[in-house]
Structures are given as structure tokens and as C-alpha cells.
Amino acid sequence: MFRRAITGLIAFLLVSVGAFSCLLAQEPLSKRIANYTMDVRLDPETKVINGKEILTWLNDSDVEITELYFHLYLNAFKNNMSTLITEARRTRPGRITRMKKEDLSYIDVESIKIIGEEGVEPVNITPAMEYVQPDDGNPYDQTVMKVTLPQPLPPQQTIKLDISFASKIPGGGARRTGYRKGYFYVAQWFPKIGVFFEGNWNCHQYHASSEFFADYGVYDVNLTVPSNYIVGATGVSRNKSDNEDGTTTYNYYQEDVHDFVWTASPHFLVYEDKFTHEYLPEVKVILLLQPYHKMFKDRYIEATKNALRYYGEWYGAYPYPQVTCVDPAYRSGSGGMEYPTMFTGGATWLTPIEFRSPEGVTVHEAGHGWWYGIIGNNEFEDAWMDEGFNSYSDDRVLEKAYGPRYYSRRFLDIFPIVFKRFSYRPNWGTIGRYRPFAELDNMARVAWEFMNGTSYGINSYNKGALMLWTLENYLGPELSDKVFKTYFQRWKFRHPRPQDFFDVVQEVTGKDMSWFFDQTVFGSNELDYAIESISSKPLTEKEGWFEENGERVYISGKEEGKTEEEKEVIYQTEVIVRRLGEVVFPVEVLMTFENGEKVKKVWDGKYRWVRYTFRKPTRLESAEVDPDYKIFLDVNYTNNSKTMNPRKLPTYKWASRWMFWLQHLLEMCTFFS
């Protein structure tokens, strides 16, 4: 009996290992160019992480590589002369103010060695390290490191590096990474190799307005933290072991991601749930919640599941076994940020669901799992390709899952007030911030070269989303969905450039859409069509000598035998549509007549104006450009229509409402009399 039990146990173990091996042996989802094995320890007192990474890097090009480039992002907060801080003073005044000494950060690469074959001494290439500034030549910026190799690395060969480093985490809510009252959010924290892309190293400095770009690979990370800390990280926790010195080491593992982030806090509340769907794979949802945000638990999880559902249905299944949503600590500066398989939300006490917080940020950041996580675009150079795509997508999710947005405010800066009678579609909120910046920059600019942080945000997020909404409406929802799905499936785990997306659009639609993208992505002009004028007057009756049937006859202008009332009045209607902006886009024009008849015309929008004339026994009632509101990029929708019978009512209504506010304000101020 004992022998049978042992045999059964062995069989069970073999099957389990086999199953696990099968999982591991699954076809890689990505090329796995940059693979990291790390062993790091956090000292919560000094806020320093000491560690070592073994980086296995594949030269996936067809040229020899003589030098390697690394990102050392945390050096951006080393002093006030770094490129990020210098730019922040200019482009984002008020943010990232002077940092205290204890809040500064750095990454020190203590040594870097090439690991050769077994038994061969590693080659120390530490002396070959130097800081470079490929973007702006700022000698004080140390966010990019170059290492010259003693021997070139041939194409399709790998190199294994042993890198020892120490990273000091920034404080004071610096930028995405930080700590506060025992909470640590650790991002961009290790020496990260750049991307050798299109024949060159693509390894930009860390700018005030830029995000990140890295290659896919496997991350196998041991994190040692005090035992009372709860940890969350990219990937799956495989095991944890308690150490004798009061610390615990957690192992996290994830394949086919391009970054690794982690968080630790003794205060987290941990919740787990499962996303299930009729055909999408099951995903474990982990929520790390601040204890003072318990009331948001269901809302965070629901929002994460909504993202998994709709992004999965529209674009493609979430390919990882779990996702972690982190509720960031108050004033930690780590909220609203995305990383592979983990993201941060952001919530504030006393926020009803109508405020769409934390729902909005949660859906957006979870959605970045697709646009940025799985589609690994270069955020430095093509920021709109993840932010614009994701803003467009999260608008769709929010509308589908939560309905319209409402105007709201806080009374005494505390109590939420929702104005439920004033609602708008989530994507309309995107319009509001766009117009003042519509002509300032174009979307295709590299992230740090926008005029300022606001222009970067508007062009990457808002205009990107508006452009994609306009594209969807132009193509129609079915064809548009097919475009996005094809693009996602074709380019997942790769690094697409804008042309790659444009090519997919052309392929799927069979249309050359370069005229659209040239203007909207690479141009900075406004799109604005307007009804210039409308008129509808009784036709001028013929009077005078006319040739009829070969004879000259005099027509007096009065029909014989008919009274004025019995004559059928024919109206000459004229509608002039104008192109006010420089962007050319085909538009629909709808003419509505008093007898209920509707006539829709399509204008190619190329010339500066077009005139439509009609002769009908009915007057025109109204004319409208883009009546179905398809062109989200149109900066002014008020001028899109005209009516023959404008009413004064709306003016009375809104003027009297404003007057009441003013009357109330005046009466309130008698307080001081």
C-alpha cells in the first residue's frame, strides 16, 4: 500500500512537472531579445535597492554590435541639471519642483561583466562604461549609458552580462517611481538595455515628456524585502521564502514582457478575483488596495474586468495569466501608470461612480496592457500610438460599461456633487482640451519636442483619440474593428511604427488613406467645416420675351386663370458649405425641408466651398454638415448647421440661468454690507 502511494505520488509529480514544462515550452509569444534574471534587495531605511541582473541579450539584427546602450532612468532625478528636470522647469512649470536631498535618486552601475562559457573568467567591461546624451548633448544627464564591447557581437548571437547595481528610489512624489510611508513603487529601476532598432541603437534620454521603449524578454526576479511587506510585481509569484534576517524573498516570473515593475507595502489589502468569459481565457485579477480605500474594492475590480473583456473582444485576448491593479498610496506620485501585467489606478475618498474615478484611470491603465504592453510601440518617438489608441479605446469601454459622463464638482473641495441632467459622451470630453492646441504641434513629433507638456498630452492622447474616432466613423464600425483587430494580431509583441498601422488600414480597407494620415498625424492644421449660408426664396417668375417652340413669346409673369393663392410656389433653395480649416475631409451635408423631405449630399471637401441649389415646392428648414457627428476632429460643431427659423429660447434659457447665479452671488455678497 505504501509502495502504491509512493508510485501515485511520483506519477502525480511527473504529470505536474510535465504540464508545467509544457507551459514553459509553449511557443514564445515574442522574440525574447532582452532577458533578465535578477536578485535584488530593498533597504526601506535608505530607500536603496542593491542587486544584480544577468542580462541575456540577443543581437537580432544583421550587423555586428560593438557597443551596448542602457537606460538608467532614475538618474533623471540625480540633480537639477538633468535633462528631465531642466525640461520640466521649462515645459511643465510647477511640477517636479526643487527636490530635497533625501528625495534625489540614482542608478549606480557598480560593475558590468561579460559572462562567457563555463569555467571562463567573466570579462570586466566596467571601465568601458560612459554616459552619453544622444538627444540633447546635456553633459549633466546620465540617463543613457554606453558600453563598448571588447569584441563585436555577431548577428543573431547572444551576450550574457552580469551587472551589479544600486538604485536609490526618488521621494517626494517625483515621477511614477517613489516611496511614501512604507509604500514603495519601483519602476524604471534597473539598468535596462535599449533597443537596437532599424539598424541603430534607439536609446533616448529620459525627458520631462516621454515614456519608454524596450525589447521583449523573460523576467525572472527575486525580490527581497522586509517580511511584513506585501509585494506585487509584473508576472506570477512562483514562490516565496522567509530569510533569517527578517526578510522574505519573492520570486516573480513573466515571459514576453518588456519591463518589470514592482511594489511593496506593509499596508496593502490584497484581493483576488477571476475574469471569466465565454471565449476569452481566464485571467487572475489581483488588487492591492490601500486600507483607506476599501470602499473602492469592487469598483477597481469591475473596471479591470471591463477592460479585460472589451479590449479582449475588440482586439485580442489578454495573453498573460494575471493582472495586478495597484491602488497607489496618497501623494506617492505613482498613480495612473501602466506597466506589463501591472498598473496603478488612483482613487480619492468620497468619489461616487458618476465621477468615473477610479473607473476611468483603471480602464485606461489596464488598457495599456494592449497598447504599449502587447503592442510595443516606441513611446519616445510615437507616443500617440499607445496613448491615442488607448484613449480612443478606453472612451469606448467607458461608454459601453458605464454610460455617459456627468458634470460634477466638489463642494468645499470635499463633497461630490453630480449634475445628472448634464451628461456627455466620454469621448466628447476629449474634444475640450484639444482645440486650443490644435495648431501648435503635430502628433508625429518626438515626445520631448512638443512645445510644452500640455501640447505633448493633447497631441498624444486627445488628438490621437479624436483621429481614431474619426477614422472609425469614416470606415464604419465593422471595418474599423477589423482594422484594429488585424493590426493588433499582426503586430503584437513587436514594435510597430506609424506606417505599419497605416499599411494595415490600407490592406484591410482596400483604400489609400494616406491623405487622411498625412494631414492628421503629420500635419497640424485644423479641420473645420461650416454651413456658410442658407436661403430659400420663392422662385423668381419668368417675365419678358422668351423663345418657346421656335417662337418668341411674351410671358407676363402671371399664370392665366389662377389666383395668387392657387399658384404652386416653387422655392429656390441655396446652401453654401465652407471649408474653414486646412484639413480636407469628405463630408456629408444634410438638407431638411419643411415638408419633411431630407436630402443628403456628400462633398469631397476639397475646394473652399460648395453650393447646393434646389427647386422644390417647399422651403428649406435646416442644413447641417456632418449630421451624424462622425468627424470628431472638427474643432467647431456649432457652425456645422443653420436653421431658417432660429429661436431665441435657448438664449433666454441660458441667460436667465446665468442671471440667477449672478443674482445669488450679489445677494450673498450683501453679507459684507
Q: How far is the CB of 623 from other proteins (least distance, A)?
A: 9
Q: How far apart are CA 612 and CA 599, in angstroms?
A: 11
Choose between 341 and 351: whose C-beta lies nearer to other proteins.
351
Nearer to other proteins (CB atom), residue 496 or residue 581: 581
Residues in Cβ contact with 582 at an 8 Å cutoff, skipping those fewer than 6 apart: 523, 525, 526
Residues 385/501, Cβ–Cβ less than 8 Å: yes
Considering the complex, what minimum distance in angstroms separates the CB of residue 350 from other proteins?
Answer: 7
Strands 322-326 and 342-344: parallel
Of residues 171 and 376, the one with the C-beta less far from other proteins: 171
Q: How far apart are CA 635 and CA 533, in angstroms?
A: 19
Taking a C-beta distance cutoff of 8 angstroms, is the pair 442, 522 a contact?
yes
Minimum distance from residue 592 beta carbon to other proteins (Å): 9
Report the interhelical angle of 477-491 vs 498-509 (nearest 10°). 130
State the cell numbers at 256.
514576453
* Nearer CB in complex with other proteins: 107/438: 438
Answer for the pair 235, 252: CB distance below 8 angstroms, yes or no. Answer: yes
Report residue 431 as a C-alpha cell: 474634444
Distance from C-alpha of 143 to C-alpha of 82, rounded to nearest angstrom: 8
Question: Omega of the bond prior to 477 within 30 degrees of 0, cis?
Answer: no
Q: CB of residue 178 vs other proteins: minimum separation in angstroms?
A: 14
The secondary structure of the chain in percent helix, strand, coil, rounded to multiples of 5, reads: 30, 35, 40
Instruction: Quote the least distance from Cβ 670 to other proteins, whole Å.
Output: 5
Q: Which is nearer to other proteins, 220 or 624 (CB)?
A: 624
Residue 269 beta carbon to other proteins: minimum distance, rounded to whole angstroms = 13
Nearer to other proteins, 331 or 600 (CB): 331
Residue 129 beta carbon to other proteins: minimum distance, rounded to whole angstroms: 38
CB 488 to other proteins: min, Å: 30
Alpha carbon of 328 to those of 325, 344, 379, 389, 540: distances in Å? 9, 6, 23, 24, 73
| Shortest distance, position 637 Cβ to other proteins, whole Å | 4
Q: How far is the CB of 413 from other proteins (least distance, A)?
A: 6
**What cell numbers appear for 404 in the block?**
455617459
**Do residues 223 and 190 lie in contact, with contact meaning Cβ atoms separated by under 8 Å?**
no
Query: Which phi and psi (to 5°) does residue 507 adopt?
Result: -65, -45
Q: List residues binding other proteins (CB under 8 A).
A: 181, 290, 292-293, 330-331, 348-350, 407-409, 411-414, 417, 419, 421-422, 424-425, 428-429, 431-432, 435-436, 622, 624, 629, 635-644, 646-673
Q: Which residue's CB is nearer to other proteins, number 377 or number 455?
A: 455
User: Could you tell me the three cell numbers for 574?
Assistant: 441655396
Question: By C-beta, is 247 or 462 nearer to other proteins?
Answer: 462
Residue nearer to other proteins on the CB measure, 20 or 658: 658
CA-only gyration radius of the chain, Å: 31
DSSP-assigned letter for residue 460: I
CB closer to other proteins out of 22 and 414:
414
213 vs 377: CA distance, rounded Å: 7
Residue closer to other proteins by CB (options 386, 621) is 621
Would you state the cell numbers that stand for residue 554, as one nine-digit string? 411674351
At 615, the amino acid letter reads R
**Smallest distance, Å, CB 228 to other proteins?**
16
